[in-house]
Chain A
């Protein structure tokens, strides 16, 4: 019954590796997002897709690449991981442009060593 699910929940990897985080929502929402939360709890939007179309692409290194195979999925692929990529990554979804709020996943804690 999970509304927005992310996998994995924890990810520990070495610098230079490539990794992916997957996100799926079963709410029938048309828009999905990736947010990054740093060690001070600050949340910053990275990407957003509306019906598989990229609509928000913030200033994020091009090592980060989102992919939306359908409107229920938004995956995040990260190439050549760096220490500074360590953070908690949250997936979220919304309907009608989010005017009623977003539903967030439980987060993926990425640790780069």
Chain B
């Protein structure tokens, strides 16, 4: 079946540090890939997406590239801010309408 594996947290960084959250997937066919962010006490917000191989999604300084050869969609940001503290979810949308999530990675950025 389809599944998403992302690195376990929690991750604690200082402001302006480089952030990487690894995400790999298992899927049949050609899934769409997403990163969602959940700020404390809020719902999930779509951060970025990629719908085919080699696509790069980007938003708010975050980037992720759909790598079919390594079945990966790692999230990166070059310089994090305190306001980036949140839980980040990698997700996969397969051909059966389902959006499957990874376990989430809690990121805390310290001033």
Which A residues contact B (CB, under 8 angstroms)?
A: 31, 33, 40-45, 48, 50, 55-56, 90, 92, 94, 97-107
Contact between B42 and A106, CB atoms less than 8 A apart: yes
Kindly report which residue of chain B lies nearest to residue A45, judged by CB atoms: B98
Cβ–Cβ < 8 Å partners of A44 in chain B = 101
* C-alpha spacing A69/B69, complex, angstroms: 44
Contact between B93 and A99, CB atoms less than 8 A apart: yes
Q: Are A42 and B43 also in contact (CB < 8 A) when A98-B93, A99-B32, A99-B93 are?
A: no
Contact between B49 and A41, CB atoms less than 8 A apart: no
With contacts A99-B32, A104-B43 known, what are 19 further pairs, Cβ within 8 A?
Answer: A40-B103, A41-B87, A41-B103, A43-B104, A45-B98, A45-B100, A56-B98, A90-B43, A92-B44, A98-B32, A98-B93, A98-B99, A100-B32, A100-B51, A101-B46, A103-B46, A104-B36, A104-B44, A106-B42
Contact between B43 and A106, CB atoms less than 8 A apart: yes
Contact between A105 and B49, CB atoms less than 8 A apart: no
Kindly report which residue of chain A lies nearest to residue B31, judged by CB atoms: A99
**How many positions in chain B have a CB within 8 Å of any CB in the partner chain?**
23
Identify which of residues 81-105 in chain B touch chain A, using a CB-to-CB cut-off of 8 Å. Answer: 87, 89, 93, 96-101, 103-104
4 closest A-B pairs (Cβ-Cβ)? A106-B43, A43-B101, A104-B44, A41-B104
A58 to chain B, nearest CB (A): 9
Contact between A43 and B89, CB atoms less than 8 A apart: yes
